[in-house]
Structure 1
Amino acid sequence: MRALSLRPDRPGSLAVTDVPDPEPAEGELLVEGLAVGVCGTDREIIAGEYGTAPPGRDRLVLGHESLGRVRSAPDGSGFASGDLVVGVVRRPDPEPCGACAHGQFDMCRNGRYTERGIKELDGYASEAWRVPAEYAVRLDPALSEVGVLLEPTSVVAKAWEQVDLVGGRSWFEPERVLVTGAGPIGMLAAMIGAQRGLDVHVLDVVTDGPKPDLVRRLGATYHHDGVAEAVRDSEPDVVIEATGVSSVIFEAMGATNHYGVVCLTGVSSAGRSLRVDLGALNREIVLENDAVVGSVNANQRHYRAAADALTMADQDWLAGLITRRVPLAEFEKAFQPEPDDIKVVLTL
């Protein structure tokens, strides 16, 4: 069968290759691959910045944002042929840390976890794949066109859970949220904020294209003139930061209401300098009982919450997030950014 694979240690090695058909082990589903989403993590692996092939192999099958349809399932697994499914990305380490041992492998504390399409496990960018039933999530059949958004939605479902846990230190009933960045993570974070009944504000840099319209269709407010302007009339109780841009991060950390919670989901590039008044920022965070927390990855609980959020969402709005669909044979086009891109999907 065909799969999109590469040598993680060799930039420019990405290619469609022939790989053996998957043979499901006991307790595993055999799944027909329908689509994979493309994200910044994939681009960094392609560039040779990180990524690890399975032990004893040179090449890694790419793809961690999956969507597939079950071909066969073991008896008693809870799945059946024809089910629409997504595979969980991360697996706990073989000798689990405390978090992994308690099913919270998204919070692994020793770094020995593995990840499909990223670290030591083949990804989902193939015409078929196998997955243990406990690491598969069933989707509503109505999500057949947009279910590939589940993995990034699981990331923001976890981010919102982290906000709730941190806010739960005391009485916490947030009213306003500022989402910085209108890429897939930011848009999906805004969607969940709207589902929670919050006053949602989204900040990005573009002034036209699909992003402003999609934000307005959520009933949210779109901003493009920077953090200070976005919070001028109403300080947010929550900030979901999805840009990874250092200047935006520091401004957002100092822009919240009292007892504000900032959840960082964007990964910053190293090596960039920024002059900030860290003393003033520290003073504000301490005196206002603010909190800043980082969040990445997700476990099964977050995938299930994400599946519920996608089912509740307007399907036409979700479809608007997928701005390009590229067939596997033309995979190079999927990794060449275009101005109006939000989410690019490879069809398998």
Structure 2
Amino acid sequence: MRTVRAVTVAPGVPDSLRLVDDWPEPAPEEGAILVEALAVGICGTDLEIIAGHYGEAPPGQERLVIGHEALGRVLEDPTGSLEPGDLVAGVVRHPDPVPCPNCAVDEWDMCRNGRYTEHGIKGLPGFARERWRVQPKFAVGLDPVLAPVGMLLEPASVVAKAWDHIERIGNRAEWNPQTVLITGAGPIGLLAALLGTQRGLTVHVLDRNTTGPKPDLVRALGATYHTAPVNELDFKPDVLVECTGAPVVVLDAMCKVGPNGIVCLTGVSSGGRTINFDAGALNRELVLENNVVFGSVNANRRHWDQAAEALARADQSWLNSLITRRVPMSDFAMAYEHTGEDIKVMLDLTS
């Protein structure tokens, strides 16, 4: 049996990250399209899985191949949906088998019963292996120009969903947004800012970093960079996309938008912290200003396609600048070391 190298963990066991040299070749049951892996992006979810906080191996297996921000090249596709040599990414979440009402109509990002599966996270092998397979329904073709940065498609799909839902909510009434504030200049925040500028909005990004690449990346988009606390800013945005998950920032964000404003929460808080906060004042503001606060996570196929289009239209040198480290597979452990200075780390699966 042919084998491949794969980066794996034992879910629930802290620091069990291993590079396995003889992982089984992906079985045809995983999908008709066979893909040569090029790279995976690393995010906080990977680090939490490595720390043992969560993660679930496929049924009957003890270890989980991690990696959900995929980029690969098609080796064979007997279905004809893609051609050999095409760049491809795999959709992370798959619908539950029941299915729930949302999964039944391919809105698996809005699964209601929690029985979905996710590559590299929950019940499905991830993409940090030299070869993987995917069903045509979950294979997203990429423009060749995205070869150096295609692993950004997964976080971009999360942002595309956020903007899709922002616009659906905004259209409850006559809506002509002008200004958006993004809190957090990590990969999600910067990609949210990119999609904001592509919509012709005046974009502001707030982050604590005063040095490093983040301020310049924001300004390169034509956006304005801020380091002051949210509640000290001298304007009220029409839209606020919160990407930090920091409790104080989340609460300040909900209080900051203008009339008919929309706050989209994409950052996940860790919990366990109590803050003295005037909930009554927040409620009064939300009601009297017709404001909306909602959470957004994951993405369905429509959002992946929207993200692929947005990345292909972006300045490719700017996207390249988001990748602050490219680590060969032979040095895999270095890719998962949190330095606090990176924006996006990429694991090169071809070396």
Length-normalised TM-score, structure 1: 0.98
1:217-228 alignment, distance < 5 Å = 217-228=220-231
Is contact 1:210–1:340 with CA below 8 Å preserved after alignment? no
Residue 252 (structure 2) pairs with residue 251 (structure 1): yes
Aligned to 1:187: 190
Looking at structure 1, the residues matched to 228 and 9 of structure 2 have their Cα atoms a distance apart, in angstroms, of 40
| From 50, 56, 78, the counterpart of 1:52 | 56
Residue 259 (structure 2) pairs with residue 286 (structure 1): no
Is contact 1:2–1:127 with CA below 8 Å preserved after alignment? yes
Aligned to 2:14: 11
Residue 109 (structure 2) pairs with residue 124 (structure 1): no
Output one character per residue of 1:270-305: Cα deviation in whole Å (capped at 9) or x when no partner: 111111111101100110000001000001100000
| From 146, 167, 171, the counterpart of 2:174 | 171
Seen in structure 2, the aligned counterparts of structure 1 residues 298 and 8 have a Cα distance that, compared at 3 Å, is same
Say which SS state the counterpart of residue 327 (structure 2) adopts: strand
1:222-237 alignment, distance < 5 Å = 222-229=225-232, 231-232=233-234, 234-237=235-238
Looking at structure 2, the residues matched to 334 and 156 of structure 1 have their Cα atoms a distance apart, in angstroms, of 24
Aligned to 2:162: 159
Output one character per residue of 1:119-147: Cα deviation in whole Å (capped at 9) or x when no partner: 01000000000000110000000100011
Looking at structure 1, the residues matched to 341 and 124 of structure 2 have their Cα atoms a distance apart, in angstroms, of 32
Equivalent position amino acid for 1:290 in 2: N
Residue 293 (structure 2) pairs with residue 300 (structure 1): no
Aligned to 2:315: 314
Equivalenced residue count is 345
Aligned to 1:78: 81
Identity percentage of aligned residues: 59
Output one character per residue of 1:60-117: Cα deviation in whole Å (capped at 9) or x when no partner: 0000000000000013x32110000000000011110000001100000000000000
Looking at structure 2, the residues matched to 97 and 152 of structure 1 have their Cα atoms a distance apart, in angstroms, of 25
Say which SS state the counterpart of residue 304 (structure 2) adopts: helix
Equivalent position amino acid for 1:103 in 2: D
CA drift at 1:338 = 2.2
Say which SS state the counterpart of residue 156 (structure 2) adopts: helix
Say which SS state the counterpart of residue 3 (structure 1) adopts: strand
Output one character per residue of 1:148-171: Cα deviation in whole Å (capped at 9) or x when no partner: 100000000000011011111111
Looking at structure 2, the residues matched to 158 and 284 of structure 1 have their Cα atoms a distance apart, in angstroms, of 26
Seen in structure 2, the aligned counterparts of structure 1 residues 273 and 69 have a Cα distance that, compared at 3 Å, is same
Seen in structure 2, the aligned counterparts of structure 1 residues 35 and 329 have a Cα distance that, compared at 3 Å, is same
CA drift at 1:332 = 1.6
Residue 121 (structure 2) pairs with residue 92 (structure 1): no
Looking at structure 2, the residues matched to 115 and 328 of structure 1 have their Cα atoms a distance apart, in angstroms, of 22
Structure 2 residues not aligned, in runs of 5+: none
1:104-119 alignment, distance < 5 Å = 104-119=107-122
Residue 344 (structure 2) pairs with residue 343 (structure 1): yes
Output one character per residue of 1:312-343: Cα deviation in whole Å (capped at 9) or x when no partner: 10000000001001111212211212243100
CA drift at 1:196 = 0.4
Equivalent position amino acid for 1:31 in 2: V
Seen in structure 2, the aligned counterparts of structure 1 residues 52 and 339 have a Cα distance that, compared at 3 Å, is closer
Is contact 1:27–1:74 with CA below 8 Å preserved after alignment? no
Output one character per residue of 1:154-198: Cα deviation in whole Å (capped at 9) or x when no partner: 000000011011111111111000000000000000000000000
Output one character per residue of 1:244-267: Cα deviation in whole Å (capped at 9) or x when no partner: 000001001101110100000000
Looking at structure 1, the residues matched to 277 and 330 of structure 2 have their Cα atoms a distance apart, in angstroms, of 47
Looking at structure 1, the residues matched to 276 and 62 of structure 2 have their Cα atoms a distance apart, in angstroms, of 42
Looking at structure 1, the residues matched to 146 and 98 of structure 2 have their Cα atoms a distance apart, in angstroms, of 36
Looking at structure 1, the residues matched to 149 and 308 of structure 2 have their Cα atoms a distance apart, in angstroms, of 11
CA drift at 1:27 = 5.8
Looking at structure 2, the residues matched to 214 and 48 of structure 1 have their Cα atoms a distance apart, in angstroms, of 33
Aligned to 1:68: 72
Say which SS state the counterpart of residue 102 (structure 2) adopts: helix
Looking at structure 2, the residues matched to 289 and 267 of structure 1 have their Cα atoms a distance apart, in angstroms, of 25
Length-normalised TM-score, structure 2: 0.97
